[in-house]
Structure 1
């Protein structure tokens, strides 16, 4: 049975938890369009068989391609440091909905701006043209992270090619960035036949064509972020509030203030159990890993995935 579990890879590209098998590539192409453009909204035919077995009649039913590369997620923010939270949300809600043919999803972001998720390219254009709400000037920004997806491919045949060459050859399939993963082997960073591709698409394709190679694409699942200063999950040392406040670092092993090499009994500062904060048996680690998987699969923010 083929393992459909998404690979887990590190943001830095130095480590990976799952070894991918390049032999498990499919030789069957799906009828689902992978990279439709905005012009692909024309009616197409869908085939549905009625009756039992092969004796059923073929019925042609109309349908439409779903666009996969438009600005679905947009951010509305006020100018000069003001926040959207200061405006009448009922009035703002009505004004945005009046611009759209299909009701959009609207929510506040942590910085006070508004995240607007539209349902069509036409509505995206209309929202991008909004210059004021409730009598106040605003800016509409493109949310690159939410409008792009990342996937992982594996191919030994690509080892002799640079990241720039691969990206250039795959750009017509929506690839805008390529990162080859590396592993520390004997103190030397060794390139691996595993590549993280960034697609300027809303939905991850199941496969791509590299020349005549048909390569499976699997979701990119970043490793859980754990701060090496405070040992908490969800951020890195560069944004650690404990470090910014000038407080002492926390020992990874016992959870007390950092004191160099530790011989104390293990105690996790995250879950309180008898193991180091770095243990993969930690319930908190398991939860954060599930958050990362859900976030990647469902295209959610950290806040939404944790909820």
Structure 2
């Protein structure tokens, strides 16, 4: 596989018929040179896939998604477009419409025979059918009454569950491939590395929880109702020692207060205070 940077290099390489006197054929890669995107519009409901391929630039295939309701298949407004570029465009022009293009993320491929991901039923090498419910071989789901057990993650659910960790991992790989391009192996490697980083790095809550389990906090005998112990005599708390003392107060000596003043030392009442007291006394009488 050869990766080229421009269309001119692709044309020159495609014209090569021999390499070191060995006949060769050059053909573009089927999946790496194309991408898929999803558009949605009610105005394109009457347009067929052939019309979209002819009118839309850069589109090689168009497929409208259908929904089964009962025995009928109803066409939706969602169309999956295949572009002749490694990454789909962010938006396209369809006449007077400007439509946003979202990356197409397909559902993970699960084998209906062995219930494993990554291949289909036609390419499965398992000799017997595996039950999607209990993960054991020899019977199908409709004949099974055992407890659910996933064959992929050994969880308490069926292999077809959308909450299965293996299903979520495969879906994340397909989403990474659709958004960033590249091969399936490159996307799997990038996603698995991120998953291992997330699992190996404990969160703050998990770290605190583990410390509480290993080293339980010792409770006082009285159940924590006792008051905090005071510092011993002759020693001041650290926060008091750190307080700065102004220079003006460093030379001052402690002088005890003189106590309450005697009635003789009190100041005589003024005229205003006497009037106020008489007015209050008159209000009380009324």
Which TM bucket (shorter chain)?
A: 0.5 to 0.7
With over 3 angstroms needed to count, the CA separation of the structure-2 counterparts of 1:280 and 1:143, relative to structure 1, is same
Q: What's the CA shift for 1:135?
A: 5.3
Q: What's the CA shift for 1:120?
A: 2.1
The one-character-per-residue Cα deviations of 1:16-45 (angstroms, maximum 9, x if unpaired) are xxxxxxxxxxxxxxxxxxxxxxxxxxxxxx
Correspondence list, 1:42-121, <5 A: 115-121=1-7
How far apart in 2 are the matches of 1:161 and 1:141? 32
Structure 1 unaligned runs (5+)? 1-114
How far apart in 2 are the matches of 1:258 and 1:168? 50
Structure 2 unaligned runs (5+)? 190-286
Question: What residue number does 2:46 align with?
Answer: 160
Question: TM-score, with normalisation over the residues of structure 1?
Answer: 0.57
RMSD of equivalent CA atoms: 1.7
Q: What's the CA shift for 1:134?
A: 5.5
Question: What residue number does 1:255 align with?
Answer: 135
Pick from 81, 84, 87 the counterpart of residue 197 of structure 1: 81
Q: Secondary structure at the match of 1:116?
A: coil
How far apart in 1 are the matches of 2:2 and 2:65? 34
How far apart in 1 are the matches of 2:71 and 2:158? 25
1:283 aligns with 2:165: yes
Question: What residue number does 1:300 align with?
Answer: 182
Contact 1:180 1:196 in 2 (8 A): yes
Q: Which has the higher helix share?
A: 2
How far apart in 1 are the matches of 2:23 and 2:52? 42
How far apart in 1 are the matches of 2:5 and 2:52? 32
Larger relative contact order (CA 8 Å, sep ≥ 6): 1
The one-character-per-residue Cα deviations of 1:250-286 (angstroms, maximum 9, x if unpaired) are 0000110141321111111111111111111111111
Question: What residue number does 1:174 align with?
Answer: 58
How far apart in 1 are the matches of 2:163 and 2:87? 32
Q: What's the CA shift for 1:133?
A: 4.4
Question: TM-score, with normalisation over the residues of structure 2?
Answer: 0.62
Q: What's the CA shift for 1:132?
A: 4.2
Pick from 182, 193, 212 the counterpart of residue 96 of structure 2: 212
Rg larger in structure = 2
Q: Secondary structure at the match of 2:86?
A: coil
